[in-house]
């Protein structure tokens, strides 16, 4: 638990005008070299001061023998030196009034008694001096819009996402690394990424409070094994989820996996039953696994759904059937198209086609048919949300369909979920749509599950609609 | 239902020495042009005779005015001409003793009374003359090892998989197209692909009987909305599943989706409860959705598991926890490593690391540590199956790890499932592993679910182990 001021001081970590890196190294693949490279080769625009008495310069950038020798204001200090050196460094921090620290080093309370003692010292120094410290034993932090990047995995192996409005807080560095890597690959923009490790100074609750007030953050994704302050954690989630959707993945659900969780973070994973009950009470959107996490976050930047009556449009019968199965199974409703919509839809179907939901445009459909069909369904007040299935494999489905899908996504009258599945050709189109934030899924079940979660959340946020 | 001889005559469709294409066209994107291109630009090595009285030649290949003008033995005829022309063409087939026909044309029983009458004529001609006919209203057939390819979707949009030992039979062309496209993309080799459409002559049961005896087929994947002959279908599955695993996806499970199924194939989708009960009785591996289909098929080419005690090895704690959660949830058992294995494993862990399951090699692990760890776990008789989690994002995880995973997959003492998740870098590695048939998953839940299905099937096949 940190003070209000410490929480505020997180701004020095995410929006630093200057960063110093203690232990900066020219040795490839060393943690402190990876961070050095991210800060010098990424998009960080502020002042950067590498610190290491062993070097005069690293790849042409002046290197300082100590923090105090920098003689400039330092907003954020990144530390990647061995555990036993850390208390001394933090005392220097305190003297120099550095208020933001990211400490990625491991070997603290998760490593035994000696480390526990060091960790206690760290906490004392930070609390006395209002230092906001993330870590230790963490992967680091990232703000893509400022380039403040302390993630110690190399950029060529772990892509950095572009700026956006989804924030991630993760108790596991490993899981965190996959989350940002996948987010970057799928064009999902993020506001803040925080792997908080042992949560010695700032814990889950503090971070949630920070994100609650962060204007750049619209959706919050949480990976948690065990919260330090259970009650406060749930209260914060309950309060914040009313304003910004929280998607949560609880790991260490069972006795065996909880033991595994304990061994890697030193944390006791909380009882899953308690978490599950609390999530349900707070209407937090629970993900069963990583796939849910990605599937859900894609859909939440859309306008809230007014109800649960869904329409399905497809150019492949079987894909429509599979989507209908998922809609049935998950308890969404099939929209009964309005009379007006039916008349209009009839005109885009082949002579023997019936206006039904799912609407099957059959394999002869092209971009124009999709455009008309989607427009009619967007206009129809009897439809609350739309599943758009596109088999790009058919000859008439050329690039023009992409613009139709982007238009549907930009329409912002109803939430949509696109479903497409295939090899290189289709995947290439899907990556293109990612760039325009069109929510697309490789499977009917995944799309319907995500939409159901979003419709439930919409009802929670606007019960009267 | 077809005769034994008709079923045998499928060899003329899959292994034809000569193919004639009726209605061959030079017009880009026309069905008959797509097939023309696949046969001339793909790897079909036999004789090919385009038939169309309108053309002397198409892109330099001699075109015949009629089938009878070819004057050579024709093993397989592919028909892409309008429905009403088909009975006449089949009568010519009968005269010329052509025994294999693929009819992709739509507009038969699914389109009304007139079509139903035509379809009845087709069946009569084929049955009288022992013609094996696939279709009508289907996507076509494919045998990658002979290049006999009647799929009417262009190769640049829908990749063709390489030869392998998984056969697909699908009632939906749309679903079929995604299946082969994805299979090709993920390097999954197939033996036969059959989209059988209206099943006028050869139905699901006939196709299963053919695949039962097909030496190239080791695993059978079925997408079904409603089988024509329910009882025979289940009996065939029950019998064949004892020799070759059958993975089945039933669509049209509920009233609404069943109605959608009826409208696109003219078939009444069978009661899902009956299918589900029959699958369980026959121990057929049921897929809940397309994602299951792909996840399951990857794992089934491995040696049967001797039991359900699993080991997990990871370089990222949180990913180990998530995998342990899935193992717990799905009722697999955590292996208790043997004393000998424990001693050996201790040597590859950092000083503060514990030998536990999941075994956490932490972020410093490289290919060598993985190689040793996997070797020890392969040797340990207390472990029946192995989950190998590799976060490629860490600096020491270089290309050498790929060879370690290929070696583990080739070891063939125990089934493995690899788990990896990330952006471009990791995806690139994953595609590389695909080429070597290393079963890999993007999610712990998907990997564990597939392994559980495989362990259940292993027990069914070898109950004494």
Span A41-56, pLDDT tens digits: 999 999 999 999 999 9
Residue B267 has pLDDT above 80, yes or no: no
Mean pLDDT of B352-371: 92
pLDDT band at A267 (very low <50, low <70, confident <90, very high): low
Residue A268 is predicted with a pLDDT of 59
Is-contact A414 A423, C-beta < 8 A? no
Indicate yes or no: CB of A181 within 8 angstroms of CB of B156.
no
Residue B268 is predicted with a pLDDT of 59
From the CA of B34, how many Å to the nearest CA of chain A? 9
Mean pLDDT of A246-270: 78
Indicate yes or no: CB of A321 within 8 angstroms of CB of B252.
yes
Rounded Cα–Cα distance for residues B182 and B290 (Å): 10
Phi-psi map region of B187: left, alpha, beta (phi>0 left; psi -120 to 50 alpha): left
pLDDT band at B269 (very low <50, low <70, confident <90, very high): low
Which chain A residue has its CA at the smallest distance from B249's CA? A322
Mean pLDDT of B253-279: 78
Question: pLDDT tens, A111-125?
Answer: 889 999 999 999 999
Instruction: List the single best residue of B30, B321, B364 to mutate versus A (max A Cβ within 10 A).
Output: B321
Rounded Cα–Cα distance for residues B445 and B442 (Å): 9
Indicate yes or no: CB of A317 within 8 angstroms of CB of B424.
no
Percent of chain B clearing pLDDT 70 (strictly above): 98
Instruction: List the single best residue of B113, B178, B356 to mutate versus A (max A Cβ within 10 A).
Output: B178
For chain B, say whether A112 makes contact (Cβ under 8 Å): yes
DSSP track, B92-134: HHHHTT--EEEE----SGGG-HHHHHHHHHHHHHHHHTT-EEE
Give the mean pLDDT of chain B: 95
Residues of A in contact with B315 (CB under 8 A): 174
Rounded Cα–Cα distance for residues A230 and B255 (Å): 44
> What secondary structure letter does DSSP report for A46?
S
Question: pLDDT tens, A361-387?
Answer: 999 999 999 999 999 999 999 999 999
Indicate yes or no: CB of A178 within 8 angstroms of CB of B391.
yes
Question: pLDDT tens, B233-254?
Answer: 999 999 999 999 999 999 999 8
The residue that leads in pLDDT, A256 or A383, is A383
From the CA of B335, how many Å to the nearest CA of chain A? 11
From the CA of A19, how many Å to the nearest CA of chain B? 23
Residues of A in contact with B176 (CB under 8 A): 318
Query: Strand pairing of B57-58 and A163-170?
Result: unpaired
Strand partners, B389: B419
Rounded Cα–Cα distance for residues B150 and A423 (Å): 19
Residues of A in contact with B111 (CB under 8 A): 352
Which of A262-266, B27-31, B79-83, B117-121 is predicted least confidently?
A262-266
Is-contact B378 B413, C-beta < 8 A? yes
Indicate yes or no: CB of B422 within 8 angstroms of CB of A174.
no
Residues of A in contact with B328 (CB under 8 A): 253-257
Rounded Cα–Cα distance for residues B344 and A318 (Å): 52
Mean pLDDT of A239-244: 97
For chain A, say whether B91 makes contact (Cβ under 8 Å): no
Residue A306 is predicted with a pLDDT of 96
Residue B465 has pLDDT above 60, yes or no: no
Residue A265 is predicted with a pLDDT of 62
Rounded Cα–Cα distance for residues B77 and B70 (Å): 12
For chain B, positions 281-300, list CB contacts with chain A under 8 A: 288-291
Q: Which two tokens stand for residue A117?
A: 């003692």
Cα torsion A35, A41, A44, A48: sign: positive
Is-contact B47 B72, C-beta < 8 A? yes
Indicate yes or no: CB of A158 within 8 angstroms of CB of B329.
no
For chain B, say whether A264 makes contact (Cβ under 8 Å): yes
Residue B353 is predicted with a pLDDT of 78
Enumerate domains of chain A plus CATH numbers.
4-299 (3.40.50.261), 309-461 (3.40.50.261)
The residues, any chain, with a CB within 8 Å of residue A154's CB and separated by 6 or more, are A29, A34, A37, A38, B395
Which chain B residue has its CA at the smallest distance from A185's CA? B423
Residues of A in contact with B363 (CB under 8 A): 173-174
Residues of A in contact with B319 (CB under 8 A): 172, 174-175, 178
Residue B258 is predicted with a pLDDT of 78
Indicate yes or no: CB of B153 within 8 angstroms of CB of A394.
yes
Rounded Cα–Cα distance for residues B421 and B427 (Å): 7
For chain A, say whether B415 makes contact (Cβ under 8 Å): no
Residue A455 is predicted with a pLDDT of 98
Reduced to 3 states (helix: H, G, I; strand: E, B; else coil), residue B44 is: coil
Rounded Cα–Cα distance for residues B16 and B148 (Å): 7
Residue B265 has pLDDT above 70, yes or no: no
Instruction: List the single best residue of B318, B353, B356, B366 to mutate versus A (max A Cβ within 10 A).
Output: B318
Q: For residue A177, give the nearest of B223, B255, B391 by CB distance.
A: B391
Which chain B residue has its CA at the smallest distance from A397's CA? B157
Residue B255 is predicted with a pLDDT of 74
Question: pLDDT tens, B171-180?
Answer: 999 999 999 9
Residue A63 has pLDDT above 90, yes or no: yes
Rounded Cα–Cα distance for residues A102 and A10 (Å): 10
From the CA of B92, how many Å to the nearest CA of chain A? 30
Give the mean pLDDT of chain A: 95
- Run of H or E residues at A359: strand A359-360
Mean pLDDT of B338-347: 97
Reduced to 3 states (helix: H, G, I; strand: E, B; else coil), residue A150 is: coil
From the CA of A130, how many Å to the nearest CA of chain B? 30
Cα B157 from chain centre: 18
Length of chain B: 465
Which of A16-30, A256-270, A320-334, B171-185 is predicted least confidently?
A256-270
Q: For residue A320, give the nearest of B260, B321, B326 by CB distance.
A: B260
For chain A, say whether B351 makes contact (Cβ under 8 Å): no
Q: Which two tokens stand for residue B46?
A: 């036999």
Q: Which two tokens stand for residue A451?
A: 């939409």
Rounded Cα–Cα distance for residues B178 and B158 (Å): 8
Indicate yes or no: CB of B263 within 8 angstroms of CB of A317.
yes
Q: Which two tokens stand for residue A352?
A: 């023997």
Phi, psi of B309 (to 5 degrees): -85, 115
pLDDT band at B376 (very low <50, low <70, confident <90, very high): very high
Residue A133 is predicted with a pLDDT of 98
For chain A, say whether B140 makes contact (Cβ under 8 Å): no
Residue A411: Cβ-neighbour burial (10 angstroms; 0-12, 13-18, 19+)? middle
Reduced to 3 states (helix: H, G, I; strand: E, B; else coil), residue B118 is: helix
Cα B293 from chain centre: 8
Rounded Cα–Cα distance for residues B201 and B122 (Å): 8
Q: Which two tokens stand for residue B363?
A: 């972020």
Q: Within a 10 A sphere around the Cβ of B193, how many other Cβ atoms?
A: 28
For chain B, say whether A118 makes contact (Cβ under 8 Å): no
Indicate yes or no: CB of A174 within 8 angstroms of CB of B252.
no
Residues of A in contact with B354 (CB under 8 A): 263
Is-contact B198 B108, C-beta < 8 A? yes
Residues of B in contact with A291 (CB under 8 A): 442-443, 445-446
Residue B350 is predicted with a pLDDT of 84
Residue A110 is predicted with a pLDDT of 87
Q: Which two tokens stand for residue B286?
A: 């049921």
For chain B, positions 19-38, list CB contacts with chain A under 8 A: 29, 34
Mean pLDDT of A136-160: 96
Is-contact B194 B170, C-beta < 8 A? yes
Residues of B in contact with A182 (CB under 8 A): 421-423
Residues of A in contact with B261 (CB under 8 A): 317, 321
Residue A269 is predicted with a pLDDT of 63
The residues, any chain, with a CB within 8 Å of residue B154's CB and separated by 6 or more, are A395, B29, B34, B37, B38
Question: pLDDT tens, B199-245?
Answer: 999 999 999 999 999 999 999 999 999 998 999 999 999 999 999 99
Residue B149 has pLDDT above 60, yes or no: yes
From the CA of B20, how many Å to the nearest CA of chain A? 23
First to last CA, chain B: 39
Residues of B in contact with A271 (CB under 8 A): none
Q: Name which of B429, B370, B358 is nearest B396 in CA terms.
A: B370
Mean pLDDT of A401-413: 97
Residue B306 has pLDDT above 70, yes or no: yes
Residue A226 is predicted with a pLDDT of 92
Which chain A residue has its CA at the smallest distance from B424's CA? A185
Phi-psi map region of B87: left, alpha, beta (phi>0 left; psi -120 to 50 alpha): alpha
Q: For residue B421, give the nearest of A184, A290, A363 by CB distance.
A: A290
Instruction: List the single best residue of A112, A151, A260, A296 to mutate versus B (max B Cβ within 10 A).
Output: A260
Mean pLDDT of A272-301: 95
Residue B449 has pLDDT above 70, yes or no: yes
Rounded Cα–Cα distance for residues B396 and A140 (Å): 18
Q: Name which of B248, B170, B161, B244 is nearest B207 in CA terms.
A: B170
């Amino acid at each position: 638990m940190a003070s209000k001021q410490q929480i505020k001081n997180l701004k020095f970590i995410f929006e630093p005008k200057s960063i110093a890196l203690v232990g900066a190294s020219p040795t490839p693949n060393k943690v402190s070299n990876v961070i050095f490279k991210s800060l010098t080769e990424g998009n960080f625009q502020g002042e950067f001061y590498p610190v290491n008495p062993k070097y005069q310069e690293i790849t042409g950038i002046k290197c300082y023998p100590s923090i105090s020798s920098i003689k400039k204001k330092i907003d954020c200090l990144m530390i990647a030196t061995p555990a036993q050196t850390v208390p001394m460094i933090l005392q220097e921090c305190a003297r120099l009034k550095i208020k933001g620290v990211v400490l990625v080093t491991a070997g603290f309370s998760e490593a035994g008694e000696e480390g526990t003692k060091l960790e206690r010292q760290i906490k004392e120094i930070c609390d006395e001096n209002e230092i906001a410290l993330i870590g230790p034993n963490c992967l680091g932090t990232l703000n893509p819009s400022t380039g403040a990047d302390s993630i110690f995995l190399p950029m060529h192996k772990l892509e950095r996402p572009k700026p956006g409005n989804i924030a991630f807080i993760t108790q596991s560095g490993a899981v965190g690394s996959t989350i940002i890597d996948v987010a970057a690959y799928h064009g999902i923009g993020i506001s803040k990424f925080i792997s908080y490790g042992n949560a010695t100074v700032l814990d889950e609750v503090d971070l949630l409070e920070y994100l609650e007030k962060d204007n750049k953050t619209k959706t919050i994704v949480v990976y948690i094994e065990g919260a330090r302050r259970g009650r406060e954690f749930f209260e914060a989630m309950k309060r914040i989820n009313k304003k910004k959707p929280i998607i949560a993945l609880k790991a260490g659900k069972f006795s065996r996996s909880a033991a595994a969780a304990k061994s890697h973070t030193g944390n006791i994973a909380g009882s899953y039953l308690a978490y599950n009950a609390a999530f349900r009470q707070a209407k937090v959107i629970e993900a069963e696994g990583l796939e849910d996490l990605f599937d859900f976050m894609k859909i939440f930047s859309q306008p809230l759904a007014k109800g649960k009556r869904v329409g399905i449009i497809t150019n492949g019968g079987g894909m429509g059937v599979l989507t209908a199965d998922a809609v049935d199974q998950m308890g969404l409703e099939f929209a009964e198209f309005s009379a007006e919509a039916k008349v209009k839809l009839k005109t885009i179907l082949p002579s023997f086609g019936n206006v039904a939901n799912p609407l099957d445009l059959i394999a002869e459909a092209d971009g124009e048919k999709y455009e008309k069909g989607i427009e009619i369904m967007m206009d129809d007040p009897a439809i609350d949300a739309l599943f758009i299935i596109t088999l790009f494999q058919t000859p008439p489905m050329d690039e023009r369909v992409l613009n139709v899908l982007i238009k549907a996504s930009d329409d912002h009258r109803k939430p949509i979920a696109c479903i497409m599945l295939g090899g290189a050709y289709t995947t290439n189109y899907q990556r293109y749509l990612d760039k325009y934030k069109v929510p697309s899924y490789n499977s009917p079940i995944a799309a319907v599950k995500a939409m159901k979660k979003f419709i439930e959340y919409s009802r929670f946020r606007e019960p009267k609609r």
